[in-house]
Amino acid sequence: MPEQKTLDVVGIGNAIVDVLVQADDAVIEGFGLTKGTMALIDQDQAETLYAKLGPGLETSGGSAANTLAGIAQLGGRAGFIGRVRDDQLGSIFAHDIRAVGTRFETPAATAGASTARCLILVSPDAQRTMCTYLGASVGLDPSDLNLEMVAQAKVLYLEGYLWDSDEAKAAFLAAARVAKENGAEVALSLSDAFCVERHRDSFLELVDGHVDILFANEMEITSLYKANSFEEAVQAVRGQCRIAALTRSEQGSVVLSGDESITIQPFNLGALVDTTGAGDLYAGGFLHAYTQGESLERCGQLASLCAGQVVTRLGPRSQVDLKALAQTHLS
């Protein structure tokens, strides 16, 4: 891996402001929502829900953005590309992601849809019910790319949600070409089982020959290969990409590379509060260790530690020093 790179990981994804609100089942049902699901909503619905919900925690979010923030918190050199609008939530996103040390330079759009937001209702049992307005984020197109930033990355990280927008998909493919031309590796997160269902053929083509590092949870990887079990999916993905990191919630994770299969145990660091961001922080921990030249086992362990920490609090970002946490548990 080239040593002269100035950035470890650059991610491209939906720039979303997460609004986390604790809500009991009655509130969730009162809004006509199905607990534990994610629904896409339009701008009017987003404004109405936002106005009716109680006080919440507002942070820069989106899957890839959470991953890059985790890398920055670990001391890595991270950059993020995503579109916001020049509005209040757009300013919150930009300030928040820069504050954790992530380089973010995508100019805010001056027209069109408002900044994306995800209203996350967290019930007492830590289940998430999400209402997502994608807004300006899906307007990302090749003109938004900072290709100089992409060229300086060791790894280009992409979230599967991008495949829901043709313009964003074109931006990803353009960035991937530049990354490969400059000796970088390409990592992909499958993001969501429903996303896999929508884009299975495209994802299969990507994974086989274009993606170096694949991140997926058990449901996503079994969906991708229409497998009847996790074990069957493991056999299907083996050899399709160089590395596959597959998470299994409380069962930990499995890292595959060639004929090698490494089982990573989960970290139980406290009561489960909110699973928001667990997969994102897993990818962040893994990619940070990977770009520092660590073994795949060490990559998986740091990934598991970061995921285990973030689920003990509300929100997709760690509020503890991840570097110190790693020194305590992995030294």
In a domain, 120, yes or no: no
For residue 230, the model assigns a pLDDT of 95
Given the structure tokens 């509020």, which residue do they identify?
A: 319
* Cα–Cα distance, 304 to 253 (Å, whole number): 8
End-to-end CA distance of the chain: 25
* Cα–Cα distance, 78 to 101 (Å, whole number): 7
For residue 2, the model assigns a pLDDT of 43
- pLDDT tens digits for range 78-105: 999 999 999 999 999 999 999 999 999 9
Mean pLDDT of 43-49: 90
Query: Which run of H or E residues covers position 150?
Result: helix 147-151
Closest by CA to 76, choosing from 166, 157, 169, 191, is 157
In a domain, 252, yes or no: yes
- pLDDT tens digits for range 215-270: 999 999 999 999 999 999 999 999 899 999 999 988 999 999 999 999 999 998 88
Number of domains the chain is built from:
1
Residue 89, both tokens: 């939530």
* Cα–Cα distance, 178 to 36 (Å, whole number): 38
Mean pLDDT of 53-58: 84
13 or 56: whose pLDDT is higher? 13
Mean pLDDT of 109-120: 93
At residue 289, does pLDDT exceed 60?
Answer: yes
In a domain, 33, yes or no: no
In a domain, 306, yes or no: yes
Please give the full DSSP string across 184-196, using - where no structure is assigned. -EEEEE---HHHH
> How many of the other CB atoms lie within 10 Å of CB of 53?
17
Mean pLDDT of 282-288: 97
* Cα–Cα distance, 72 to 236 (Å, whole number): 33
Residues ≥6 apart with Cβ < 8 Å to 146: 79, 81, 105, 106
Q: How long, in residues, is the chain? A: 331
- pLDDT tens digits for range 147-191: 999 999 999 999 998 888 888 888 988 999 999 999 999 999 998
Query: Which run of H or E residues covers position 27?
Result: helix 25-30
Mean pLDDT, the chain, whole residue set = 91
Given the structure tokens 């922080």, which residue do they identify?
A: 281
In a domain, 47, yes or no: no
* Cα–Cα distance, 224 to 200 (Å, whole number): 6
pTM score of the predicted model? 0.91
For residue 1, the model assigns a pLDDT of 45
Mean pLDDT of 123-141: 90
* Cα–Cα distance, 287 to 304 (Å, whole number): 12
Exposed e or buried b per residue across 226-262, where buried means at least 16 C-beta atoms within 10 angstroms of its C-beta: ebeebeebbebbeebbebbbbbbeeebbbbbbeeeeb
Mean pLDDT of 12-35: 90
Query: In the structure, what pLDDT confidence band is assigned to residue 298 with cuts at 50, 70 and 90?
Result: very high
Q: Are 160 and 196 in contact (CB under 8 A)?
A: yes
Please give the full DSSP string across 195-242, using - where no structure is assigned. HHHHTHHHHHHHHTTT-SEEEEEHHHHHHHTT-SSHHHHHHHHBTTBS
For residue 244, the model assigns a pLDDT of 97
Query: In the structure, what pLDDT confidence band is assigned to residue 273 with cuts at 50, 70 and 90?
Result: confident
For residue 34, the model assigns a pLDDT of 87
In a domain, 130, yes or no: no
Mean pLDDT of 188-198: 89
In a domain, 48, yes or no: no
In a domain, 132, yes or no: no
At residue 203, does pLDDT exceed 50?
Answer: yes
CATH of the domain at 255: 3.40.1190.20
Residues spanned by the domain of 178: 7-14+62-112+137-330
Residues ≥6 apart with Cβ < 8 Å to 124: 22, 24
Mean pLDDT of 202-221: 90
